Structure 1
Amino acid sequence: MLFYYCDAKNNLPVQKKMMTPLLIDALTISEGRFEKPCPVLVLKMMLLNEEISSEFSEKIKNQALLLLATYRKLLRAVARDLCDVKTLKDSVKRRHWGKVDKVQDKMVVAKELRLKHLDLEEMPLFFHTQHFLKKLPISFVQKLVDWAPPAVSGTFLIENIVAGYIAQKLLPLEKIKVKELGKSVQPYFHIADFFVLLPQLEELYQKYQKQIVCVAPTAEIALALTDFKKAWIYRIRSSL
């Protein structure tokens, strides 16, 4: 079992388990999944503390920062809503689904995407989660999902799970491009399993927060993705 305790200072559950490569692959993508540079691959390299090579353009790096900020803010919101969750089943298995290297592109209606859910009931939209998601413009969400297209087995989310979850909630009737694994794989993780990555996402956010404000498409998106007040957002962006 995975046990959680509540951080009184931040009111966030903290997972008492070491971060695993499986979780990073599920949040992003497995090795070799994409043939060309993409934003979510940059995010993965950041989480693994790897040097970002020159093959990635500034545009792609900036898109990765927006993914980082979105995932951090969403997971913080979900964590607040699920602070009373005490245990989750250990989803980590010995065999890594990443061994399934054959994938094909297909279109899926976003509301049909599924993820592993809590034992008691499927997770609804809770207050903090809904409050954050309502701040994201649909046009931005469409770009975000394009930067991190989910990998699926059937309709179960296997990789880019958080991007798929956002698409499911905000683009329910739209067809989105996904990468279907060539072999059936059972879902590994519930979105709450990613709470263990929050400290690392927070550290990266603190490092790049002003840059995130600058590269956000609009001041409103910068306000949604960061902890700055509106006056500071405009001050930072006006200094460009």
Structure 2
Amino acid sequence: MARLGGATTAGARSGAAQPDDRTGARAGAAVDAVPPAQRSQRPVWRDPRLWIGVVLVAASVVAGARLFASADDTVQVWTAGSDLGAGQRLDPGDLVAQRVRFADAAALGDYFTVDDELPADSEVTRVVGAGELLPRSAVGAASSSGLVEVPIAVDAELVPPGVGPGDTVDVYLVAPLDGGGGAQPSAPAAAAGPALAGVSVVAAPAAASSFGTSGKRQLVLAVPEAEAPGFFAQLAQYDLPTFTVVRRG
């Protein structure tokens, strides 16, 4: 019995010394469940990249606000789309809207804005160059401008091809020639100066649409009303007057 008991005791001791597989599994799982050590992270608000982004966003907002503020200072006004000559009827189709910033707000009142109603039956009283702002002082009623429209027929080779509305020209009256190339005896001597000086071209159709096969080109000129009688008196002295047109620079 003692031996048996001893064996039993030894067996018990031996059994006690052997590790339990389940206990080892639990210990391994516990070790695996422990998270790895991590370094402490710097707070986000201390990251310099954050502040650089904030500065860039703020700068863009300020720049955009200034841009919109400066855009609000501009006003749309009418400008001449092409040269407008004195005596030319004012047509909205000849005008172009353009945004302009006036350093002096009071100066805006001297020009036509797109919100202004253009005077009806009005004409330009002086030359307004292409791209120039349309001043109120250069627009008047057609009946009060003191200008009349005078048409003349000019040989195509005696007028610069680029002459058009808004140009300022001088018109010379040339004595007609006889068959031999000299002046006709009955024709008076041509005046030394221009018959019309510094007049504006109101209309200048192309030669093909003016007089067809005649080879002449029509020009419509704005002539001061007081000078028109003298011009027609000169024309009456010639049977076939010839004009030469000189464009001023």
Higher-Rg member (1/2):
2
TM surpasses 0.5? no
**Shorter-chain TM-score category?**
under 0.3
TM-score, normalised relative to structure 1: 0.22
- Greater share of helix residues, 1 or 2? 1
Q: Which has the higher contact order (CA 8 A, sep 6+)?
A: 1
TM-score (norm 2): 0.21
